[in-house]
Protein backbone atom coordinates (compact mmCIF):
# COMPACT_ATOMS: atom_id res chain seq x y z
CA UNK A 1 0.00 0.00 0.00
CA UNK A 2 2.70 2.49 1.01
CA UNK A 3 6.15 2.70 2.51
CA UNK A 4 4.77 4.54 5.55
CA UNK A 5 5.22 2.64 8.81
CA UNK A 6 1.97 1.34 10.25
CA UNK A 7 1.07 1.48 13.92
CA UNK A 8 1.93 -2.24 14.06
CA UNK A 9 5.38 -1.58 12.58
CA UNK A 10 5.92 0.99 15.32
CA UNK A 11 4.86 -1.53 17.96
CA UNK A 12 7.22 -4.15 16.51
CA UNK A 13 10.04 -1.58 16.46
CA UNK A 14 9.42 -0.63 20.12
CA UNK A 15 8.38 2.92 19.19
CA UNK A 16 4.89 2.41 20.61
CA UNK A 17 3.95 0.40 23.69
CA UNK A 18 1.41 -2.39 23.73
CA UNK A 19 -0.21 -4.71 26.25
CA UNK A 20 1.48 -7.97 25.18
CA UNK A 21 -0.60 -11.11 25.43
CA UNK A 22 1.77 -13.47 23.59
CA UNK A 23 5.01 -13.34 21.67
CA UNK A 24 7.26 -15.80 19.88
CA UNK A 25 9.79 -15.60 17.05
CA UNK A 26 7.11 -15.00 14.37
CA UNK A 27 4.00 -13.68 16.14
CA UNK A 28 2.99 -10.89 18.50
CA UNK A 29 -0.44 -10.65 20.16
CA UNK A 30 -1.61 -7.67 22.19
CA UNK A 31 -4.78 -6.11 23.53
CA UNK A 32 -6.66 -3.84 21.13
CA UNK A 33 -6.71 -0.27 22.51
CA UNK A 34 -10.14 0.29 20.92
CA UNK A 35 -11.79 -3.01 21.86
CA UNK A 36 -15.22 -4.16 20.76
CA UNK A 37 -15.34 -6.16 24.00
CA UNK A 38 -13.03 -6.69 26.98
CA UNK A 39 -10.23 -9.05 25.93
CA UNK A 40 -10.32 -8.08 22.23
CA UNK A 41 -6.84 -9.10 21.08
CA UNK A 42 -4.86 -8.44 17.91
CA UNK A 43 -2.55 -11.13 16.54
CA UNK A 44 0.09 -10.03 14.01
CA UNK A 45 2.95 -11.71 12.22
CA UNK A 46 6.37 -10.15 12.68
CA UNK A 47 6.73 -10.34 8.90
CA UNK A 48 5.69 -6.94 7.57
CA UNK A 49 3.14 -7.69 4.88
CA UNK A 50 -0.12 -5.88 4.20
CA UNK A 51 -2.22 -8.87 3.08
CA UNK A 52 -2.62 -12.46 4.22
CA UNK A 53 -1.80 -13.89 0.79
CA UNK A 54 1.61 -12.18 0.92
CA UNK A 55 2.82 -14.03 4.04
CA UNK A 56 5.56 -16.62 3.78
CA UNK A 57 4.40 -20.13 4.73
CA UNK A 58 6.52 -20.03 7.90
CA UNK A 59 4.73 -16.92 9.23
CA UNK A 60 1.30 -18.14 8.13
CA UNK A 61 1.87 -21.44 9.95
CA UNK A 62 3.04 -19.60 13.07
CA UNK A 63 -0.15 -17.50 13.07
CA UNK A 64 -2.16 -20.72 12.68
CA UNK A 65 -0.41 -22.26 15.68
CA UNK A 66 -0.82 -19.14 17.83
CA UNK A 67 -4.48 -18.33 17.14
CA UNK A 68 -5.99 -21.24 19.14
CA UNK A 69 -3.75 -20.41 22.11
CA UNK A 70 -4.77 -16.76 21.95
CA UNK A 71 -8.44 -17.72 21.64
CA UNK A 72 -8.17 -19.86 24.79
CA UNK A 73 -6.49 -16.98 26.64
CA UNK A 74 -9.20 -14.54 25.50
CA UNK A 75 -11.88 -16.99 26.65
CA UNK A 76 -10.19 -17.40 30.04
CA UNK A 77 -9.82 -13.64 30.53
CA UNK A 78 -13.31 -12.70 29.33
CA UNK A 79 -15.22 -15.65 30.78
CA UNK A 80 -16.99 -16.38 27.50
CA UNK A 81 -17.15 -19.41 25.26
CA UNK A 82 -18.15 -17.44 22.15
CA UNK A 83 -15.85 -15.29 20.04
CA UNK A 84 -15.08 -14.21 16.50
CA UNK A 85 -11.78 -14.33 14.64
CA UNK A 86 -11.71 -11.60 12.00
CA UNK A 87 -9.11 -10.85 9.34
CA UNK A 88 -9.61 -8.26 6.56
CA UNK A 89 -7.65 -7.78 3.32
CA UNK A 90 -7.96 -4.49 1.45
CA UNK A 91 -9.71 -1.20 2.05
CA UNK A 92 -12.95 -2.48 0.45
CA UNK A 93 -12.91 -5.38 2.93
CA UNK A 94 -12.64 -2.92 5.85
CA UNK A 95 -8.89 -3.23 6.43
CA UNK A 96 -7.71 -0.10 8.24
CA UNK A 97 -4.13 -1.01 9.17
CA UNK A 98 -2.14 -2.39 6.25
CA UNK A 99 -0.20 -5.01 8.18
CA UNK A 100 -1.70 -8.51 8.36
CA UNK A 101 -3.63 -8.85 11.60
CA UNK A 102 -6.28 -11.04 13.14
CA UNK A 103 -8.81 -9.87 15.70
CA UNK A 104 -9.92 -12.32 18.40
CA UNK A 105 -13.11 -10.72 19.70
CA UNK A 106 -15.09 -12.16 22.60
CA UNK A 107 -18.87 -12.04 22.32
CA UNK A 108 -20.14 -10.71 25.64
CA UNK A 109 -23.89 -10.11 25.57
CA UNK A 110 -24.36 -7.09 23.27
CA UNK A 111 -20.59 -6.41 23.00
CA UNK A 112 -18.36 -7.92 20.36
CA UNK A 113 -18.48 -8.15 16.61
CA UNK A 114 -21.77 -7.46 14.87
CA UNK A 115 -22.03 -8.71 11.31
CA UNK A 116 -24.58 -8.83 8.57
CA UNK A 117 -24.55 -11.93 6.39
CA UNK A 118 -26.43 -12.04 3.09
CA UNK A 119 -25.99 -15.54 1.67
CA UNK A 120 -26.45 -16.17 -2.03
CA UNK A 121 -26.57 -19.40 -4.02
CA UNK A 122 -24.04 -21.54 -5.86
CA UNK A 123 -24.96 -23.05 -9.20
CA UNK A 124 -23.15 -26.23 -10.29
CA UNK A 125 -21.69 -24.54 -13.41
CA UNK A 126 -20.39 -21.62 -11.35
CA UNK A 127 -18.85 -24.03 -8.83
CA UNK A 128 -17.14 -25.94 -11.66
CA UNK A 129 -15.62 -22.76 -13.12
CA UNK A 130 -14.50 -21.50 -9.71
CA UNK A 131 -12.93 -24.86 -8.86
CA UNK A 132 -11.03 -25.04 -12.16
CA UNK A 133 -9.46 -21.63 -11.55
CA UNK A 134 -8.73 -22.34 -7.89
CA UNK A 135 -7.19 -25.75 -8.59
CA UNK A 136 -4.98 -24.26 -11.33
CA UNK A 137 -3.86 -21.49 -8.96
CA UNK A 138 -3.05 -24.00 -6.22
CA UNK A 139 -1.13 -26.23 -8.64
CA UNK A 140 0.99 -23.26 -9.76
CA UNK A 141 1.64 -22.04 -6.18
CA UNK A 142 5.13 -23.05 -5.02
CA UNK A 143 3.84 -23.18 -1.46
CA UNK A 144 1.36 -25.91 -2.42
CA UNK A 145 4.04 -28.45 -3.28
Q: How crowded is residue 27: how many other Cβ atoms within 10 Å of its Cβ? A: 22
Which residues, including other chains, have CB under 8 Å from residue 23's CB and lie 6 or more apart? 29
Spatial separation of the C-alpha atoms in residues 27 and 137, rounded to whole Å? 27
Q: What is the 3-state secondary structure (H, E, C) of 39-69?
A: CCEEEEECCCCCCHHHCCHHHHHHHHHHHHH
Compute φ and ψ for 53, nearest 5 degrees.
-70, -10
Catalytic residues: 101
Note whether 70 and 29 are within 8 A (CB): yes
Spatial separation of the C-alpha atoms in residues 48 and 98, rounded to whole Å? 9
Amino acid sequence: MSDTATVFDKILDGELPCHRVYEDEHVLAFLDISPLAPGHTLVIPKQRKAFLHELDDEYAAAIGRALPRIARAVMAASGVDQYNVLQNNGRGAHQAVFHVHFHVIPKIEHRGLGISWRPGGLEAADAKALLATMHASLAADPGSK
